[in-house]
Amino acid sequence: MSLRSAVVTFPGSNCDRDMAVAIEQVTGTAPLHVWHGDAELPEGLDFIALPGGFSYGDYLRSGAMAARSPIMQAVVAAANRGVAVLGVCNGFQVLTEAGLLPGALMRNAGIRFVCREVQLTVENSQSLFTRCYAAGQQIRIPVAHHDGNFFADDATLDRIEGEGRVAFRYAEPVNGSARNIAGILNASGNVLGMMPHPERMIEAAQGGTDGRALFEGVLGALVSA
Ligand SMILES: NC(=O)CC[C@H](N)C(=O)O
């Protein structure tokens, strides 16, 4: 069996091709491509990826307009049915704006766009996305964003920490994120949003392969051999 996946493209997405290449390289099956204006998703998807970029030029707030595009109603419905959804960078921003994940991604604390490799700690190695990492594993993945400063109120932060929903944490401060949170899961564990770009660490020529395990985890969790 193969993974049936889709990558959503919004006007201004710029990591949709990288995401599609990563999914195909690791899982062996190319994803379908879905346009923001489509009202429906293809039938029978196992996995949906919202890629990075500057959807709608980041106007209003990063991800805010994309979250209200026609396809997102179908993505929210699919997520609520248990379909696996990954949002990377702008995709994470879209997921918070769509209400699939708590909190918000604010302007980086240092105001500057941060574009560099960062060290992450894998906090939760039980989720379908992180099952091929070890708990506490240190990995290197690049970030590239100006709105990556994760904010939520203390009660929400305590709750997501307590429920094991912090998937990845920055090893040192990168953008001002509360508790150095780099990626979080929803309550059911089938939605992951993260600012770092695992699709940019798939083959040695990219400078490392620490992103592969995420897609391997998705494949292994969703497709029985
Ligand atoms: N690489 C990206 O997805 C960038 C996300 C968003 N536009 C930001 O700069 O914060």
What are the structural domain ranges in the chain? Answer: 5-222
Percent over 90 (pLDDT), the chain: 99
Taking all residues of the chain, what is their mean pLDDT, rounded to a whole number?
Answer: 97
Ligand 1 center–CA 116 separation, angstroms: 13
pLDDT of residue 1: 77
Give the distance from CA 162 to its chain's centroid: 21
The CATH topology of domain 5-222 is Rossmann fold (3.40.50)
Ligand 1 center–CA 115 separation, angstroms: 10
User: Taking residues 124-133, what's their average pLDDT?
Assistant: 97
- Count the Cβ atoms, other than its own, within 10 Å of residue 59: 11
54 lines ligand 1 (CB under 6 A): yes
pTM over 0.90: yes
ipTM score of complex: 0.95
9 lines ligand 1 (CB under 6 A): no
Distance CA 138, CA 123 (A): 10
pLDDT > 80? residue 224: no
Band the pLDDT of 208: cuts 50, 70, 90.
very high
Catalytic residue among 15, 36, 146, 199: 199
pLDDT digits (tens, 9 = 90+) for 3-12: 999 999 999 9
* Ligand 1, atom 7, residue with closest C-alpha: 54
Distance CA 18, CA 6 (A): 13
pLDDT digits (tens, 9 = 90+) for 23-71: 999 999 999 999 999 999 999 999 999 999 999 999 999 999 999 999 9
SS (H, E, C) the chain: CCCCEEEEECCCECCHHHHHHHHHHHHCCCCEEEECCCCCCCCCCCEEEECCECHHHHCCCCCCCHHHCHHHHHHHHHHHHCCEEEEECHHHHHHHHCCCCCCEEECCCCCCCEEEEEEEEECCCCCCCCCCCCCCCEEEEEEEECCCEEECCHHHHHHHHHCCCEEEEECCCCCCCHHHEEEEECCCCCEEEECCCHHHCCCHHHCCCCCHHHHHHHHHHHCCC
The answer to whether 88 and 139 are in contact (CB under 8 A) is no
Query: Burial of 170 by CB count in 10 Å (0-12 exposed, 13-18 middle, 19+ buried)?
Result: buried
Task: Please give the number of the atom of ligand 1 that sits closest to the Cα of 91.
Answer: 3
* Ligand 1, atom 5, residue with closest C-alpha: 90
pLDDT digits (tens, 9 = 90+) for 181-201: 999 999 999 999 999 999 999
